[in-house]
Amino acid sequence: MRAWVVETPGPVDAGPLRWVERRLPEPGPGQVRVRVSCCGVCRTDLHLAEGDLAPRRSRTTPGHEVVGSVDAVGPGAGRFTAGERVGVAWLGRTDGTCRFCRRGDENLCTDPVFTGWDTDGGYADACLVDERYAYRLPEALDDEQAAPLLCAGIIGYRALRCADVIPGGRLGIYGFGGSAHLTAQVALAQGLEVHVFTRGEHNRELARDLGAASVSGAADECPVPLDGAILFAPAGELVPVALRALDRGATLAVAGIWLSDVPGLDYAAEMFHERRLRSVTANTRQDGEQFLRLAARLGVRATTVTYPMHAAPVALADLAHGRFGGAAVLVN
Ligand SMILES: [Zn+2]
Ligand SMILES: [Zn+2]
C-alpha cells in the first residue's frame, strides 16, 4: 500500500513527508484494519511534520481523522464486521488501569497511544485501530463530512465544555479554523452568543456566515465581556489578550496540543476576579460518542476543502499558510 511518513521533521515547505510503499498491515489481537476512504488534516499533523511535537517513533504515518471501512478483523475482535464504516481518531488506546483511567479521565492516561504519533495513521491506503477506540459514524454524515469531526470536532466540543459558559452566555473564539468553525456551530445551536477573533479573510467570512455576533482581528479588544473563551490559535501571545476579555469568574480553555510560549501575565488585569486558564488534553471516548451524536442531531456541517491523498504535503502547506477556510480532507 501507499503511505505518507514523516521522514525529516522540519518546515513544511522543506518537504518533511515522504510517500512510501509499505506492506499492508495485519490486524493484531483486538484490532481491525481500516481501508481509508478519507482522512482529515489536523493542525497536530502539521506540528508533527514540522517537529514542534517531537516524534515518538521514526517514520510514522500521520492522520487521526480517518474514515473508512473495516476490511480485516484481528483475533478476538468482534465489535465490527468486514465492510462496516468506522472512524479512527486521536485517542488510539489507553492503559485502562492508571488512576486517571480508573476515575473516568482516560484523556489524562499516563500511558496513552495516539493515532498518527505512536501508531501509523490515516495518510495511507489503510491503517489499524484497536476496535474499542474506533467510532461508529452517524449515517447522516458522509465520509468527507465525518472526517473533520473526529478530531477538530471532538476536541472543540471538549474545549467548549471546558470553557464552561453559562447558558445563553457569551463565548469568545480565538482563531477560526477547522476546529473552531465546528465548535461555533454547536455553541450557536445551544444558544450562546459567539464572538470570533481571527486573521485571514476566509475565516472571517466563514465566522460571519455561521452567525457570529462579532468578528474582529486576532488580538482586537472584545466588544463585550466574555463568559468564557476558547483559544484555538497556537499563539501563546493571545493568552493574556483573551484573559483580559473575560468577565469575572470566566474560563479560558486552550484547545491546542501545542502553544507558543505564553508571555508573563498581569495578575490584576488578566487573572484576578477568579478568571481561570486551563488546557484541554485529548478527549475521552465518551466525549467522542456524545459529540458525534450531537453533530448529527444539530446538523453541524464542516466546510471542507478536499485534496487527493497524494497531495497531502500541499494540504499541510495550505494549512500552514492559511490558504483555506474550514477543514482540509485527503481523499483516496
Ligand atoms: Zn490510563
Ligand atoms: Zn487532531
* Gap from CA of 112 to ligand 1 centroid (Å): 7
pLDDT digits (tens, 9 = 90+) for 315-326: 999 999 989 888
* Gap from CA of 232 to ligand 2 centroid (Å): 12
* Confidence (pLDDT) at 325: 86
* Gap from CA of 91 to ligand 1 centroid (Å): 12
Bridge-based pairing state of the strands 228-231 and 251-254 = parallel
What gap in Å lies between CA 240 and CA 252, rounded to an integer? 10
Residue 65 has pLDDT above 90, yes or no: yes
Q: CA of 312: how far to CAs of 16, 34, 122, in Å?
A: 11, 19, 11
What gap in Å lies between CA 245 and CA 328, rounded to an integer? 30
What percentage of the chain reaches a pLDDT higher than 70? Answer: 100
* Gap from CA of 242 to ligand 1 centroid (Å): 32
* Confidence (pLDDT) at 201: 87
- Residue 200's pLDDT band, with cuts at 50, 70 and 90, is confident
30 with 326: CB under 8 angstroms?
Answer: no
Ligand number with the minimum distance to the CA of 109 = 1
* Gap from CA of 233 to ligand 2 centroid (Å): 13
* Gap from CA of 132 to ligand 1 centroid (Å): 14
Ligand number with the minimum distance to the CA of 104 = 1
195 with 171: CB under 8 angstroms?
Answer: yes
What gap in Å lies between CA 37 and CA 201, rounded to an integer? 31
- Residue 312's pLDDT band, with cuts at 50, 70 and 90, is very high
Rounded to the nearest integer, the mean pLDDT of the chain is 97
- Residue 277's pLDDT band, with cuts at 50, 70 and 90, is very high
> Residue 274: left (phi > 0), alpha (psi -120 to 50), or beta?
left
Ligand number with the minimum distance to the CA of 257 = 2
* Gap from CA of 2 to ligand 2 centroid (Å): 22
* Gap from CA of 87 to ligand 1 centroid (Å): 22
Ligand number with the minimum distance to the CA of 97 = 1
Provide the angle, in degrees to the nearest 10, between the axes of the packed helices 178-189 and 285-298.
70
Residue 119 has pLDDT above 90, yes or no: yes
What gap in Å lies between CA 310 and CA 313, rounded to an integer? 8
- Residues 144-159 have a mean pLDDT of 97
User: What 8-state DSSP symbol labels residue 115?
Assistant: B
* Gap from CA of 98 to ligand 2 centroid (Å): 24
* Gap from CA of 191 to ligand 1 centroid (Å): 35
- Residues 253-261 have a mean pLDDT of 95
Residue 224 has pLDDT above 90, yes or no: yes
- Residue 246's pLDDT band, with cuts at 50, 70 and 90, is very high
Give the residue among 297, 42, 39 at the shortest CA–CA distance from 144. Answer: 39
What percentage of the chain reaches a pLDDT higher than 90? Answer: 97
- Residues 108-127 have a mean pLDDT of 98
> What spatial distance separates the first Cα and last Cα of the chain, rounded to whole Å?
12
Residues 6+ apart with CB under 8 A from 265: 239, 240, 243, 271
* Confidence (pLDDT) at 58: 95
* Confidence (pLDDT) at 202: 87
* Gap from CA of 97 to ligand 1 centroid (Å): 5
* Gap from CA of 107 to ligand 1 centroid (Å): 8
- Residues 9-37 have a mean pLDDT of 97
* Gap from CA of 114 to ligand 1 centroid (Å): 13
- Residues 80-96 have a mean pLDDT of 97
What gap in Å lies between CA 16 and CA 49, rounded to an integer? 6
Ligand number with the minimum distance to the CA of 154 = 2
Bridge-based pairing state of the strands 85-88 and 134-136 = antiparallel
Give the residue among 156, 227, 155, 244 at the shortest CA–CA distance from 193. Answer: 227
* Gap from CA of 102 to ligand 1 centroid (Å): 7
* Gap from CA of 98 to ligand 1 centroid (Å): 4
What gap in Å lies between CA 247 and CA 294, rounded to an integer? 28
* Gap from CA of 272 to ligand 2 centroid (Å): 32
pLDDT digits (tens, 9 = 90+) for 45-63: 999 999 999 999 999 999 9
* Gap from CA of 281 to ligand 1 centroid (Å): 13
213 with 191: CB under 8 angstroms?
Answer: no
- Residues 263-280 have a mean pLDDT of 97
Residues 6+ apart with CB under 8 A from 328: 40, 41, 178, 304, 305, 306, 307, 315, 318, 319
- Residues 170-185 have a mean pLDDT of 96
Ligand number with the minimum distance to the CA of 255 = 2
pLDDT digits (tens, 9 = 90+) for 280-297: 999 999 999 999 999 999
Ligand number with the minimum distance to the CA of 178 = 2
* Confidence (pLDDT) at 176: 95
